[in-house]
Chains A and B, each alone.
Chain A
């Protein structure tokens, strides 16, 4: 196996996209991730204290596309995080 990274040469696909828009994506994502991690940490503590086996969390699952609720949540999440990229402003560099 040649490794996980493609051998195709690097190109800057975003050199005209405002860095502020890019940082809005990063900030939106970081906010989502932090909120989720915080909620998950608390939730797992509550569940373990109540005697719940969390092994199911690591079981194999189907793709979200086959579960309408997961699919809707995913698409809403992507739309929320990447909103700035759907209507980007030109970089003013």
Chain B
């Protein structure tokens, strides 16, 4: 699907992206320099720098901090506005493409009776208006928006995370593979390519995302099956999958839902099966300023469960679900992704194994 928008809309979107680049490349380095200089002169203990209230008191009146945060927030709002108005000009054309029936390999099964969890219905993730399920063209809106949001750092394919995940998957014969919270699913293409003999499935709460995922998969020759389900209570039989994975999903759901997802995944994993959850680095693995700035997204960038995810003991949840668990670092052939706050970083993959017995 051609997701290009008219020159006038794209020019506005380019400007908004340029503002994000300016914040990341010009303002943030100055803020970091100011912070480092202050640390060198005041020598505060690390315990204080890890205390969000202390950091808030330090930064809340700081003009450089306010400039960076204010422009970050306003650029995010403007970004969605421009993406939505740009794609609205082509909405009917896009909808008709999404409504096509395909005879290509793979499938799509929607469930109009599936109840959206309250937390999901009430949140606009990353400030995307209408979230992922209230616009028929939420999938294209998401893809164009996220490319802009990440300043096109993940390239046109947008699948860098999938390549990173492939690099740490244990060598096993995977017959059935499930991508939970797949959205448009393009981040999972490297797994489809790396495991061509396997049957690939993707699930999501949002029907518009799945329709776009199906269209995109057909267009890209990826034989994937899509089904509308809640990962907290999936319709698959026990022991059905050899590999279940997700990318940047678990930080978008409340702690109770994370635990439900892990438990239901343990149920549908076959003996010896693997659960792989790829996420951004934990706060405690980052320097205090980067961690504090990442945490800002919890209250200001439509990431209401981000802090709770970082504070929960995910390994413990895995173990309570009967999985062996460990965290490993992953990166693609790029050697690491580039973050808005912390330079180059490696993903954290929480890996779980179900016993063979």
Which residues of A are in contact with B by a Cβ distance under 8 Å? 1-8, 11, 13-18, 21, 57-66, 70, 74-75, 77-79, 82, 85-91
Contact A78 B13 (CB under 8 A): no
Cβ contacts under 8 Å, B134 to chain A: 1-2
Q: Can you identify 20 A-B contacts, CB atoms within 8 angstroms?
A: A6-B80, A6-B127, A6-B302, A8-B124, A11-B300, A17-B66, A58-B6, A60-B7, A60-B10, A61-B5, A61-B7, A64-B11, A64-B14, A65-B151, A65-B152, A79-B22, A82-B22, A86-B30, A87-B64, A91-B63
Residue B4 CB within 8 A of the other chain: yes
Fill in one digit per residue for B147-159: 1 if any A CB lies within 8 Å of its CB, else 0.
Answer: 1100110001000
Contact B70 A13 (CB under 8 A): yes
Residue B110 CB within 8 A of the other chain: no
Interface residues in B53-75 by Cβ distance below 8 A to A read 60-64, 66-67, 69-71, 73-74
Contact B130 A14 (CB under 8 A): no
Cβ contacts under 8 Å, B300 to chain A: 8, 11
State in angstroms the CA–CA spacing of A63 and B136 once bound together.
Answer: 23
Which residues of B are in contact with A by a Cβ distance under 8 Å? 2, 4-8, 10-11, 13-15, 17-19, 21-22, 26-27, 30, 60-64, 66-67, 69-71, 73-74, 77, 80-81, 84-85, 124, 127, 129-131, 134-135, 147-148, 151-152, 156, 300, 302
Cβ contacts under 8 Å, B11 to chain A: 64
Cβ contacts under 8 Å, A85 to chain B: 27, 67, 71
Given contacts A58-B6, A86-B22, A3 and B124 within 8 Å (CB-CB) = no
Cβ contacts under 8 Å, A14 to chain B: 66-67, 70
**Shortest Cβ gap from B172 to chain A (Å):** 38
State in angstroms the CA–CA spacing of A54 and B339 once bound together.
Answer: 40
Main secondary structure of the interface of B (DSSP, over half): helix
Nearest 6 CB-CB pairs, A to B?
A: A13-B70, A60-B4, A64-B14, A78-B18, A88-B63, A65-B152
Cβ contacts under 8 Å, B4 to chain A: 60-62
State in angstroms the CA–CA spacing of A91 and B66 once bound together.
Answer: 11
Contact A70 B7 (CB under 8 A): no
Closest to B2 in A: A60
Contact B13 A63 (CB under 8 A): yes
Cβ contacts under 8 Å, B15 to chain A: 74, 77-78
State in angstroms the CA–CA spacing of A62 and B41 once bound together.
Answer: 47
Identify A61's interface contact among B10, B63, B67, B302, CB under 8 A.
B10
Contact B70 A17 (CB under 8 A): yes
Closest to A62 in B: B4
Contact A87 B30 (CB under 8 A): yes
State in angstroms the CA–CA spacing of A89 and B160 once bound together.
Answer: 39
Task: From B7, B151, B302, name the one whose CB has the most chain A CB atoms within 10 angstroms.
Answer: B7
Cβ contacts under 8 Å, A79 to chain B: 22, 26
Identify A78's interface contact among B2, B19, B73, CB under 8 A.
B19
Contact B17 A63 (CB under 8 A): yes
Given contacts A5-B129, A16-B63, A57-B7, A63 and B14 within 8 Å (CB-CB) = yes
Contact B6 A75 (CB under 8 A): no
**Shortest Cβ gap from B333 to chain A (Å):** 20
**Shortest Cβ gap from B228 to chain A (Å):** 19
Contact B10 A63 (CB under 8 A): yes
Closest to B77 in A: A6
Cβ contacts under 8 Å, A5 to chain B: 77, 81, 129
State in angstroms the CA–CA spacing of A85 and B67 once bound together.
Answer: 6
State in angstroms the CA–CA spacing of A59 and B64 once bound together.
Answer: 39
Cβ contacts under 8 Å, A82 to chain B: 19, 22, 71
Closest to B137 in A: A1
State in angstroms the CA–CA spacing of A88 and B14 once bound together.
Answer: 24
